[in-house]
A and B are shown apart, each in its own frame.
Chain A
Amino acid sequence: MKRPRIAILALTLALALAGTAATATATTAATAKTSYTAVIDDLMCVVCHEPLNVAQSPEAFQERQYVRQLIAQGKTKSEIEDDLVQQYGPAVLSRPPANGVNLLVYIIPPVVVILGIVIIAFFIPRWRRRAREADASNPQETHALDAADAKRLNEDLGRFA
């Protein structure tokens, strides 16, 4: 009589443990939509204007704690960033949104690079052409050493030999 009771108790306990483990696994799966470092690396401390992963201000500690809470609630990185913008404004993002005046941040660097390339491509051939034309217009100009300079050069080189 005792053995069946023990068996039922053991079975109940095993089922309960299995259920708890399954719930814990499900909860972890629900919350693991992003990692702390993946989120924190793209955020700023809005008070000290330093990257949030190195900032040491009291506000930065509050911000990091809030990020941990949002991750624990199972929010994605994008949802967390939206939430933080609602709380702190767009300055919380290390990469500003590409609209309004912020658009200049994305437009100016490539424009400057392209402008630089265009300037180089435009002016360098002109400078080289001018140099060639200058050489052509002075054919008598040679770079050969006269006898005295050649002798002096040979003497100087001889001292180093």
Chain B
Amino acid sequence: MRRFILPGLVAAAAVALLALLTFGVSKQDDTSSIDSQVAHGKFPKAPNAQQALPMLGSNQKASLADFKGKVVVLNVFASWCDPCQAEAPILAKEQPILAKHNATLVGVTYKDLSSASEAFDRKYHLTYPVLRDVTGEFVSSFGTTGVPETFVINRKGQIQALQRFPVTAQWFNETLPRILAEKS
């Protein structure tokens, strides 16, 4: 019986390492799956839609589920990110247009100071709700590893389009009309 102790320990360590490897690989798949599903016309449900996050500049919390029935343009940003600053005026222009179509922008801060995010909102006149993802878990479920990123979620809560880089007015013009025209 004793002769099996050492081989048993080595086998257990090997199994543990394999499990860790499998876990790591499966997490990699999660990161890219939203992109590939959207590209193939399969529109996944927005992950963690029920997760309530603190709202910037308020003691309240909100989740994606609170915007049910609306088209949500989810923009992940940070005040320290230069491309986010470049796209902010485009977002500010887009919000009133979205509001007319029962849609809204929702910002999510990415590893950012709340005071700096608030200053960013004031500077670029962003009037839409902004949520704070302090631990980064919420945005990581969208495969986010950098900023800015933007996801368009339809009235049924499905991700219809995404942009892993700064958005442009042209991208909005090409992407949004079809999604806004959909009924819930």
Partners in one complex: yes
Contacts A/B (CB < 8 Å), 14 sampled = A46-B111, A47-B111, A58-B80, A58-B82, A59-B112, A62-B79, A62-B116, A66-B113, A86-B134, A87-B113, A88-B134, A89-B134, A90-B135, A91-B135
Bound Cα distance A58, B82 (Å): 9
Instruction: Tell me whether A119 and B6 are in contact (CB under 8 A).
Output: yes
Q: From residue 108 to 123 of chain B, which have CB atoms closer than 8 A to chain A?
A: 111-114, 116
| In the complex, chain A residues whose CB is within 8 Å of the CB of B114 | 87
Residues of B in contact with A (beta carbons under 8 Å apart)? 6, 9, 78-82, 111-114, 116, 134-136
CB contacts (< 8 Å) of A91 on chain B: these are 135-136
Task: Tally inter-chain residue pairs, CB-CB below 8 A.
Answer: 32
Bound complex: CA A47 to CA B136 (Å) = 10
A47–B144 alpha-carbon span in the complex (Å): 12
Asked if A123 lies at the interface with its beta carbon under 8 angstroms from chain B, I say: yes
Contact status A58-B81, CB under 8 Å: yes
Closest residue of B by beta carbon distance from A69? B115
**Closest CB-CB distance, B100 to chain A, in whole Å?**
35
**Which of A62, A66, A89 is within 8 Å of B135, CB to CB?**
A89
CA distance A89 to B78 in the complex (A): 15
In the complex, A106 has a CB within 8 A of chain B: no
**B110 — nearest CB in chain A belongs to which residue?**
A47
The CA-CA distance from A56 to B116 in the complex, in Å, is 19
Nearest B residue to A62 by beta-carbon distance? Answer: B80
Could you tell me the distance between the alpha carbons of A59 and B80 in the complex, rounded to whole angstroms? 6
Of A61, A86, A89, A90, the residue contacting B80 (CB under 8 A) is A61
Q: Which of B6, B82, B134, B136 contacts A87, CB < 8 Å?
A: B134
B9 partner residues in chain A, CB cutoff 8 A = 119
Q: How far is the CA of A37 from the CA of B113 in the complex (A)?
A: 21
Considering the chains assembled together, what is the distance between the CA atoms of A62 and B84 in angstroms?
Answer: 15
| Chain A nearest CB, measured from B116 CB (Å) | 6
Q: Which of B79, B82, B136 contacts A89 (CB 8 A)?
A: B136
Return chain A residues, CB-CB under 8 Å to B82: 58
Distance in Å: Cβ of A120 to nearest Cβ of chain B: 11
Which chain A residues in 61-120 approach chain B with CB under 8 Å?
Answer: 61-62, 66, 86-91, 119
Minimum CB distance partner of B133 in chain A:
A89
Query: B111–A59 contact, CB under 8 A?
Result: yes
Known contacts A46-B111, A59-B80, A91-B136; 20 additional CB pairs below 8 A are A46-B136, A47-B111, A58-B80, A58-B81, A58-B82, A59-B78, A59-B111, A59-B112, A61-B80, A62-B79, A62-B113, A62-B116, A66-B113, A86-B134, A87-B114, A87-B134, A88-B111, A91-B135, A119-B6, A119-B9
Point out which of B78, B82, B111 has the most chain A C-beta atoms below 10 A from its C-beta. B111
